[in-house]
A and B are shown apart, each in its own frame.
Chain A
Amino acid sequence: MWMEIDLQSEVPIYEQLVDQLIEGIASAQLRPGDPLPSVRSLAADLGINLHTVNKAYQILKQDGFLQVHRKQGVVVQPDGMPGVDAAFRAKLARGLRTLAAEAAVRGMTEAEFAEQSAAVYRQLLTKGEDAK
């Protein structure tokens, strides 16, 4: 799976890492149990600080998307992904709220907004098929 870091982006690098790894899992480019590079080796490949990679892995571990073993290293969660809980619903609502507000101000209809988000969701799931 390709990973791309934009050094000029305003999004912090660890967030870019988190987002892309979750996208990789969503699109099945990364499957449960797949090994990921160690903190050290990914940091060396990207030429960025060890702590940045570590932070991204720790966030994903805390949320339950990854397992970090001392021996096997970092693997994509093999024992089932975390479900949709109240915390995630709240996070989703927060993110959507900002976007919905701007969409409404710009005059986008509710149907169009819903259609857009459905399209993005579908596109994400088929991305893995295209990458193969």
Chain B
Amino acid sequence: MTTMQTEWLVIGIINIVISASLIAAVFLAPKYLLFGVYVPQADCDRPEVGRIRSRHYGAIAALWLAGIAVGAVIGAWGGDGFTGGSPETALGAVLVIQIGGLIPIWRSGRRQALRLKQDRNWSVEQPSKIVVDLLFRQRQRLVGNGWFLLDLAIVAACAISAWLHWDVIPDPVPTHFGLNGEADAYSSKGFGAVFTLNIVQLVLIGVLLMVNMTIRQARQQINPARPEASREQQLRFRRANSIFVHALSLFVVVFLGLGQSITLYGWPIKHLNVGYLSLVALPIVAVFGFVWYVTRQGLDESAGGSRIQSDEVWRGGGLFYYNKADPALMVEKRYGVGWTINFAHPLGIAILAGILIVPVAIILILSFLT
């Protein structure tokens, strides 16, 4: 197999992983949500609901296959047996088709779901009673913020090692590797080229630390019918989330540290290549494994609560929480596991802006440094 063919193969695998994640996200969605519209328990198994679902899921699967077909055609066009062309451009084009195409499908599904809602007169019963535990936050057994010092220690070790081995580091430093494992871009040796990955490590630790603190602050959702069991479930759910977040942080830090060592000390990338790429897939698999575990254990109990049911507070296709009457900043998610932002909260927009601006700022600063 030529280098070019390897690249096409790797890009193809990346696309399959991305597509499979998207498809899994659609199929793992709770039964009581139909394109962002809440379906009451009694109507979940109605044939009309099933019809809307199967029709659009079929369209999504077709879209996914069409995307891959387009990618294959682009590849075949570029040269006999995938020996030329640009796999990265092809991936971009395929993703535009696959992700962009989801929007009209979602809108169509949502339109039909809303029509059915009107026909069937779906409404939500508001709770008459709220129960909370005053000592809930003291009872939480989350990963302490101190554990993130371990992650910082690894970053420090990476940076100090680079400092001590300054003379061994080649000039220029390889900064980008092709999918075949050969360096194809270099920067002149300097602070930026050597320590960039340490800065990225620090930023990611900061983000995940913030996520951990969010878990601590997120509101409790006690089922008034069985408060004790419900509280225990939530405490376990939060602990699982917190452990997962810290494990992810450790993984990312080690992963980037390894990447740094490869570029700086000339570790043999040829042998690492396959292993390194499969490491990329590991967090994705881990996230799905985690969601599966949480759902199977029934830990995400707040799912299906009255706030999840009220279609009026979920805007933008039923995906974004916007509720002025709710003082909470972090609220339970509708799709997936965990918490999301209340966009009606004054801080909500600020956080969204932060999420969008911070990565751009990092890229700009780093490009300036190198």
Interface residues of A (CB under 8 A from B): 1-8, 24, 30, 35-37, 40-50
B132/A45 in contact, CB under 8 A: yes
Sample 29 A-B pairs with CB under 8 A, ordered by A number: A1-B133, A1-B135, A2-B132, A2-B134, A3-B132, A3-B134, A4-B129, A7-B128, A36-B134, A37-B136, A41-B137, A41-B217, A41-B219, A42-B134, A43-B328, A44-B219, A44-B326, A44-B328, A44-B329, A45-B132, A45-B136, A45-B220, A46-B130, A47-B130, A47-B219, A47-B326, A47-B327, A47-B328, A48-B327
Q: Known contacts A30-B134, A40-B327, A44-B327; can you find 17 more A-B pairs with CB under 8 A? A: A1-B133, A1-B134, A1-B135, A2-B227, A3-B131, A7-B126, A7-B130, A37-B134, A44-B326, A44-B329, A45-B219, A46-B130, A46-B132, A48-B327, A49-B325, A49-B327, A50-B327
Q: Which residues of A contact B131 (CB under 8 A)?
A: 2-5
A1 to B312, CA, bound (A): 33
**B36 CB to nearest chain A CB (Å):** 21
| Chain B 126-163 near chain A by CB (<8 Å), digits 1 or 0 | 11111111111110000000000000000000000000
**Does B100 touch A at the CB level, under 8 Å?**
no
**Does B354 touch A at the CB level, under 8 Å?**
no
Q: Which residues of B contact A42 (CB under 8 A)?
A: 132, 134
Q: Which residues of B contact A47 (CB under 8 A)?
A: 130, 219, 307, 326-328
**B313 CB to nearest chain A CB (Å):** 11
Interface residues of B (CB under 8 A from A): 126-138, 217, 219-220, 224, 227, 307, 325-329
A3 to B327, CA, bound (A): 18
A59 to B327, CA, bound (A): 21
Q: Which residues of A contact B136 (CB under 8 A)?
A: 37, 45
A5 nearest CB neighbor, chain B only: B130
Judged by DSSP, the binding face of B is loop
B331 nearest CB neighbor, chain A only: A44
A48 nearest CB neighbor, chain B only: B327
**B166 CB to nearest chain A CB (Å):** 45
A103 to B55, CA, bound (A): 67
Contact of B137 among A2, A6, A37 (CB under 8 A): A37
Contact of A43 among B126, B127, B327 (CB under 8 A): B327
Q: Which residues of B contact A49 (CB under 8 A)?
A: 325, 327
A4 nearest CB neighbor, chain B only: B131
Please give me the 7 A-B residue pairs with the lowest Cβ-Cβ distance, nearest first. A44-B328, A44-B219, A43-B327, A45-B132, A5-B130, A1-B134, A45-B219
A4/B133 in contact, CB under 8 A: no
**B226 CB to nearest chain A CB (Å):** 12
Q: Which residues of B contact A7 (CB under 8 A)?
A: 126-130
